[in-house]
Amino acid sequence: MIRRLLSVSSAAALAGAAVITPAQAVAAVPAAAVAPALISAPLNSLPAAPTVQPVSDPPGPGAGRDSSGRRVPAAVQGRLRGTVVAKTKGISWVRCGAAQCTTVQVPLDYAKPAAGTVDLTVSRRPADNPKGRIGLLFTNPGGPGGPAAYTVGTFAQVLGRDARARFDIIGVNPRGTGDDQPALCEGKPGQKVPDDPGWVFPTNAAQVTAQLAIDAFNRGLCKNSKPAILSHMSSGDSARDIDAVRAALGERRINYYGISYGSHLGATYSQLFPRRVRTMVVDGTLDSVAWTTGRGDAARTPMTARLGSQLGAQDALMSAIGECERLGPRYCAEHKTIRADWAQLRKLKTAPIKLADDFYITYDVIVALTLGGLYDPEGVPDVLTMIHMFATMAKEGSTPAKQSVTQARLAYQVVQHRDEVNRRTRLGYNPPAAAEEEEPPATPMYFASFTGVVCDDGVGPADPQAWVRSAAIADRKAPGFGSLWTWSSSICAGWPFHSTGVYRGSFTKRAAGGLLIMNSTHDPATPYSGALKMRLLRPDSRIVTVPGWGHSVQDTSGCASRVRRDYLISGALPKRDRTCAHDHALFTRLN
């Protein structure tokens, strides 16, 4: 649920050339992540998008109230007369791996359907048992900015055999992502570009100044190049796209499974089109009120600070440390020092760790590596080992023992390798990470697939200094994580693009098929508190709580998977909220 920065190759880095530096843009999904979805069918080979004609839907929501009772005026909600596309004949599919792919053309602006169109890549994995087919199951892996057409195969594995048999599993690339008219801001050839800041988030006053400068430069690239898609990238627009695809495929209702940001996209769809929801599952659940308007005067705070993700990350790490201490040496070798080890690493703000010639680990990088490790529950023990090894080096000062350097390097490589694998294979896995150093392009570019959604959906301050203040406040309760999450949206200060189709609440409307909420209790990105708030917002919902770690539940709990399966197939919510155990313990016994 955060902008994606390219991960660095461990081997290249340890051979390499400089302090780890992050990309200052949202990176595209790695080529390996496309398999098996589109690897055998280049996008330029997809069938031409069918022409569709918009038809009127019932009027959109008027003035409502957020969950705190505060009135949200229609102007804030972006009230408009909603439209969907009419059922379209003649959709032609091509083979793309184990799936089928096509393009569907939808209005760029649903308020002005004649003002242009957008081509969306759609992938479909047909039901294994056509005679028992129930309908369409739309999926979204999060981001925002994750191209859902590329992850249908992974969703099919997570959802399990029974769901694969009964549903056509669908992925629709959100507008501005993937190769579908990407949200790309370009400058002029030879244009002077600010120096790459060289960090995941700033840790001192000089870095803050440089970060604000690069944010202003990238905003300027977008403002001057004016990609048309950037004025139509809100979650409301993407929810209407899902309904357009539903209509084009000739279905009356949808089923839906969304992870991380995909939970908010699903919640938005259920409010715009409540009668068209047969079933809806949200996993790793965002607080949609915090994502959009906030409560009370929270609009003065950046959205990425008011979400509370930093508190989720802090809780995930501290609770894992507490579990390590509780279990002791037979399960966790670092149990005696791990709490002090984490505190020790704050010194990296002024004294980076040298792992190899011209290769250093800085404080912001260790925070990002730790957060990424917390996304995957099976990687948490390796994260604690890495923290311990880095702390050992830090204690030894400028001349650490050779053995300490070797052990720290190995621990880093283990965590980094898991990160690289997870980015290709794990749904909802897109934490920030360091980037490979690259020569700047002749023409400066900024990929805004994350920014275009976040800055439009969330009401926030226009003053860049709000991010400086909010990061400092967030760090008081979640050192490091507060800055990391807050700064992830700093480009939104004064963002010049706003969609007429944005939807910012309310989020209390009942959907025909209800809502099933899933969350682990120690989620580092979408904290359990967000799931509880969604449960309270939606009286037609049930929650499946999984005590444990990791970002989203997915297939980590057989019990939770059965609850999800039964709901999707029967269409009936469980009679009560459920608690399900993780299948695998966080720490296994050491021999």
- Using DSSP's 3-state secondary structure scheme, residue 200 falls into coil
User: Distance between CA 397 and CA 383 in Å, rounded?
Assistant: 22
Report angle CA 317, 321, 324 to the nearest 5 degrees. Answer: 140
Separation CA 410–CA 408 (nearest Å): 5
Q: What pLDDT shows up at residue 524?
A: 97
* Paired sense of beta strands 578-579 and 541-549, if any: parallel
Q: At 180, list the tokens.
A: 């579908």
Q: What does DSSP say about strands 541-549 and 515-522: parallel, antiparallel, or unpaired?
A: parallel
C-alpha to C-alpha distances, 97 to 148, 178, 386, nearest whole angstrom? 15, 17, 38
Burial letters 67-97, b for 16+ CB under 10 A, else e: beeeebeeebbbbbebbbbeebeebebbebb
- Do the Cβ atoms of 230 and 183 come closer than 8 Å? yes
What is the reported pLDDT for 298? 84
Q: What is the DSSP letter of 237?
A: H
Query: CA-CA distances (angstroms) from residue 229 to 182, 183, 237, 498?
Result: 8, 6, 11, 10
> 94 with 322: CB under 8 angstroms?
no
Q: Distance between CA atoms of 5 and 431, rounded to whole angstroms? A: 8
At 579 the three-state DSSP class reads: strand
Q: What is the mean pLDDT of each run of 10 residues along the chain (591 residues)?
A: 35 30 26 28 44 37 36 34 43 86 91 89 94 96 90 95 97 87 90 85 95 95 94 96 91 96 98 96 97 90 96 98 96 96 93 86 94 95 96 89 92 93 89 68 89 95 96 97 96 94 94 98 97 97 97 97 98 97 94 78
pLDDT of residue 5: 34
pLDDT of residue 235: 96
Closest by Cα among 21, 67, 94, 13 to 434: 21
Q: What is the pTM of this model?
A: 0.87
349 touches 203 (CB < 8 A): yes
